[in-house]
Every structure is written in C-alpha cells, then in structure tokens.
C-alpha cells in the first residue's frame, strides 16, 4: 500500500514538473519567434531605406527581391507581429514598382495579390484603404495612363513598438460578449491560404497565447 501510494505521489510530481517545463518551453518558443520577426523587420527597414536612397532607374531586380525576402520572413516568423501588416504592404508596393519599371505582368499580379491580402487579413491596418484602392487600379488599369507609385518610407510609416501585436480580425459589434473561464482563449476563426512557395494556416484567438511548434516526419507535417 505504501509503495503504491509513494509511486502515485512520485508520478504526480513528475507530471507537474513536466507541465512546468512545457510551459517554459512554450514561452521560449513564442518569444523566439517574436524576436526573430522583429530582427527581420529591422533588417528589412534598413535595406528598404538604402533602396529608396538610390535613383529609381538604378535599382535592380535583385535589390528589390532582397528587401521583399526580408519582409516576407517577418510574416513567416510571426504573422501576428506588430509590423506584419507594414511588411505585407511594403511588399505589395515593391512589386508594384517592379511591375511598372521592368514591365512584367508577374510583378503586377503579385502586387495586386499582396494589396488584397493585407486588406483582407489585417482589416485594422492603417494601409487598408490604400491597399484596396491600389488593388482595384491594378485589376482595372485606366487606358493609356501609366500609374506611378510613390514608395512610402518604412521609417515614416511604421510606428509599431517592438513586440506589439497586429489586430488580424475585428469582432462584430452586434455579437454579445460571452465570459470565458480564466486562462482560456476563444477561437473565432481558422483561415488558410497558399502563397507562391508555402501554405499558411491562421488560427484567430481573442488573446495572445503561447504556441509550441514541432516538425514531424513520415509524413512531413507541422
């Protein structure tokens, strides 16, 4: 009897210790993703500023792609990071200018895609009206009229404090609030979309939570 009771107590202690360790791991993973997104955002802003300082006619495709890559890594690391909507909007603007400068429809299509994407997935963004307007212009370009897009400076537009979280969706005003048990988040929506080289799934909650990411194999899955 004593041995059985002692074994149960030991099992409970091990289980509790495991939960504490898991909670710490979740916090580390979440903080690591947020820090990584912030680092990529700062690098993207710096490279973006350097690009804008050059005459437009001397900007190369590789230079544009370098900045776009850094902005897209922000989204890859943490789509809820405070600079995520800025990153998407700047990506759209860069593709927009590339399409006009190099006369390639593929860049125009990508610009329209990202304008619509940021307006749809980040409805609270300050860029929503401009993104929707420009996406419509690219879809229905005026005849015999060339549109020139002035690229906004990332320093003048982005005022997101480090670690802030973008508002990804809005809660309907007519939906009554329901009190949840302490510590539980409410799932409001699950969305997914496919990009050029990856598919993203967004689980929308009413608060920030800690997430554990683990890559499994056979078959490969997250």
Kindly state the tokens that stand for 163.
């670690």
Question: What are phi and psi for residue 33, nearest 5 degrees?
Answer: -65, -45
pLDDT digits (tens, 9 = 90+) for 124-157: 999 999 999 999 999 998 764 555 566 666 665 5
The per-residue pLDDT for 214 is 72
CA count, 13 A, side-chain hemisphere, 180: 10
131 vs 111: CA distance, rounded Å: 10
30 vs 17: CA distance, rounded Å: 20
The per-residue pLDDT for 155 is 60
The per-residue pLDDT for 216 is 75
What residues have CB less than 8 Å from 105, skipping those under 6 apart?
99
Domain boundaries, the chain: 18-139
171 vs 179: CA distance, rounded Å: 15
Domain 18-139 sits in CATH 1.10.10.10: no
The per-residue pLDDT for 144 is 44
The parts of the chain modelled with pLDDT lower than 70 are 1-31, 143-183, 188-189, 191-198, 200, 204-210, 212-213, 222
């Amino acid at each position: 009897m004593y041995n059985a009771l002692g074994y149960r107590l030991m099992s409970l202690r091990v289980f509790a210790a495991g939960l504490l360790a898991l909670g710490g791991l979740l916090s580390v993973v979440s903080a690591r993703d947020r820090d990584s997104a912030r680092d990529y955002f700062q690098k993207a802003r710096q490279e973006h500023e350097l690009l804008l300082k050059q005459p437009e006619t001397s900007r190369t495709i590789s230079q544009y792609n370098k900045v776009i890559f850094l902005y897209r890594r922000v989204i890859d690391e943490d789509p809820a990071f405070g600079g995520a909507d800025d990153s998407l909007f700047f990506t759209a603007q860069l593709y927009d200018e590339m399409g006009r400068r190099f006369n390639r429809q593929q860049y125009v299509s990508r610009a329209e895609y990202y304008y619509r994407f940021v307006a749809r997935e980040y409805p609270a963004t300050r860029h929503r009206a401009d993104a929707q307007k420009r996406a419509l212009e690219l879809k229905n370009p005026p005849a015999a009229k060339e549109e020139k897009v002035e690229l906004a400076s990332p320093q003048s537009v982005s005022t997101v404090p480090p670690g802030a979280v973008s508002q990804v969706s809005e809660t309907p005003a007519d939906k009554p609030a329901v009190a949840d048990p302490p510590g539980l988040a409410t799932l409001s929506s699950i969305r997914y979309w496919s990009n050029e080289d990856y598919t993203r799934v967004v689980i929308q909650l009413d608060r920030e939570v800690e997430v554990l990411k683990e890559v499994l194999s056979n078959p490969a899955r997250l």
